[in-house]
């Protein structure tokens, strides 16, 4: 049986995309095979550029599919309007 | 009553036609047609559209171009402008989705126009392909095709924008189904 893709590997391209708009993407193990993805704004973040939550969730759920984790939820920066 | 645009803003909303994922009829030729150029206000968006328009006028016989500007890049087009464009043009080209929210919105705009029967090319930068595709997926139109230019766009000079237009033109024509030069 093939080993599951690591979460870091699975999220790498999206992490790069978020960094283009000035956001930092991290994830944490929420237990029971669930992962929480957290988006944080850096000093240079473009507030209006943040990917809307439904779109973010869609991307994250698909990105995690080849891993041993399922998406629990995505946390956006405080005050995010999308 | 939920409008189609509201449903796009809230992808969980149900509305008649929302799951319509059939592309509008392609024009084959652009000769004599009116093409709408929709600027989402991102830097160099209209400059890129103007370069594309120059080629379409010279080589493909477009009769008229109409230029429009959205009021905000991060959300789908407002109803009033949407209806105006639908009533005035045969084809739409919209640019440029070079950030997370605007790439998603640019694709959402394209889907709105396709569902209104207007063949549309949405242009995003390649760095944000995932955002654009995710919007298409969320809207139940996973087969919506959009064109991608190399990122970045905002910092380019005139010659570089001309280069981006050259690079993307074959994809613009392919998405529109245009096979005949003027």
Kindly determine whether residue A49 and residue B100, on different chains, have CB atoms separated by under 8 Å.
yes
Q: Which of B108, B121, B147, B145 is nearest to B18 (CA)?
A: B108
Please tell me which residue, B9 or B21, carries the higher pLDDT value: B21
Asked if A47 is an interface residue toward chain B (Cβ–Cβ < 8 A), one would say no
**pLDDT-based confidence at B1, cuts 50/70/90?**
very low
Q: Does B87 reside within a domain? A: yes
Residues A45 and A22 sit within 8 Å (Cβ to Cβ): yes
Asked if A60 is an interface residue toward chain B (Cβ–Cβ < 8 A), one would say no
Q: Which CATH number do you get for residue B125?
A: 3.40.50.10350
B96-154 pLDDT per residue, tens:
999 999 999 999 999 999 999 999 999 999 999 999 999 999 999 999 999 999 999 99
Out of B4-8, B102-106, B156-160, B162-166, least confident range: B4-8
Chain B residues with CB-CB distance to A56 below 8 A: 134
Asked if B99 is an interface residue toward chain A (Cβ–Cβ < 8 A), one would say yes
Q: For A20, which DSSP code? A: H
Average model confidence (pLDDT) across chain B: 91
Integer Cα distance of B89 and A73 in angstroms: 41
Kindly determine whether residue A14 and residue B101, on different chains, have CB atoms separated by under 8 Å.
no
**pLDDT-based confidence at B5, cuts 50/70/90?**
low
Cis peptide before B96 (omega within 30 of 0): yes
> Three-class SS of residue A60?
helix
B69-103 pLDDT per residue, tens:
999 999 999 999 999 999 999 999 999 999 999 99
Integer Cα distance of B51 and B39 in angstroms: 13
Q: Does B7 reside within a domain? A: no
Count of domains forming chain B: 1
Kindly determine whether residue B99 and residue A21, on different chains, have CB atoms separated by under 8 Å.
yes
Asked if A17 is an interface residue toward chain B (Cβ–Cβ < 8 A), one would say yes
Residue with tokens 């009116």: B34
Structure confidence at residue B14 (pLDDT): 35
Percent of chain B with pLDDT over 70: 90
ipTM: 0.91
Structure confidence at residue A4 (pLDDT): 72
First-to-last alpha carbon distance for chain A, in angstroms, is 40
**pLDDT-based confidence at A3, cuts 50/70/90?**
low
Integer Cα distance of B168 and B55 in angstroms: 11
Distance from CA of A74 to the nearest CA of B (A): 15
**A7-75 carries CATH number 3.30.300:** yes
Q: Does B181 reside within a domain? A: no
Residues B45 and B6 sit within 8 Å (Cβ to Cβ): no
Kindly determine whether residue B100 and residue A13, on different chains, have CB atoms separated by under 8 Å.
no
Structure confidence at residue A70 (pLDDT): 97
Average model confidence (pLDDT) across chain A: 92
Q: Which two tokens mark B142?
A: 């996973």
Asked if B74 is an interface residue toward chain A (Cβ–Cβ < 8 A), one would say yes
Q: Does B15 reside within a domain? A: no
Mean pLDDT, residues B51-71: 98
Domain carrying residue B91: 27-176
Starting at the edge strand that comes first in sequence, how are the strands of the sheet with A34-41 ordered?
A: A23-31, A34-41, A70-75
**pLDDT-based confidence at B12, cuts 50/70/90?**
very low
Q: Does B22 reside within a domain? A: no
Please tell me which residue, B46 or A3, carries the higher pLDDT value: B46
Residues B110 and B138 sit within 8 Å (Cβ to Cβ): no
């Amino acid at each position: 049986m093939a080993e599951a893709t690591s979460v870091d590997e699975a999220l790498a391209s999206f992490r790069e995309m978020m960094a283009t708009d000035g956001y930092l993407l991290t994830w944490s193990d929420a237990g029971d095979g669930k992962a929480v993805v957290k988006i944080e704004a850096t000093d240079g973040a473009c507030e209006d550029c943040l990917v809307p939550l439904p779109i973010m969730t869609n991307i994250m759920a698909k990105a995690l599919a080849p891993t041993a984790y399922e998406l629990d939820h995505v946390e956006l920066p405080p005050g995010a309007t999308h | 009553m939920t409008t189609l645009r509201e449903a796009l803003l809230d992808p969980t909303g149900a509305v008649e036609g929302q799951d319509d994922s059939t592309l509008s009829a392609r024009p084959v030729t652009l000769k004599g047609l009116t093409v709408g150029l929709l600027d989402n206000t991102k830097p160099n968006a209209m400059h890129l559209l103007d370069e594309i328009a120059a080629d379409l006028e010279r080589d493909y016989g477009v009769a008229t171009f109409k230029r429009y500007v959205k009021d905000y890049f991060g959300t789908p087009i407002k109803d009033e402008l949407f209806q105006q464009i639908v009533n005035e043009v045969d084809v739409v080209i919209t640019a440029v989705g070079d950030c997370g929210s605007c790439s998603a919105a640019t694709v959402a705009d394209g889907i709105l126009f396709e569902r209104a029967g207007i063949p549309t090319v949405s242009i995003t930068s390649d760095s944000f392909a995932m955002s654009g595709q995710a919007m298409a997926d969320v809207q139940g139109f996973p087969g919506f095709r959009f064109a991608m230019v190399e990122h970045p766009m905002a910092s380019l000079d005139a010659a570089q924008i001309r280069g981006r237009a050259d690079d993307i033109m074959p994809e613009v024509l392919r998405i529109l189904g245009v096979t005949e030069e003027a």
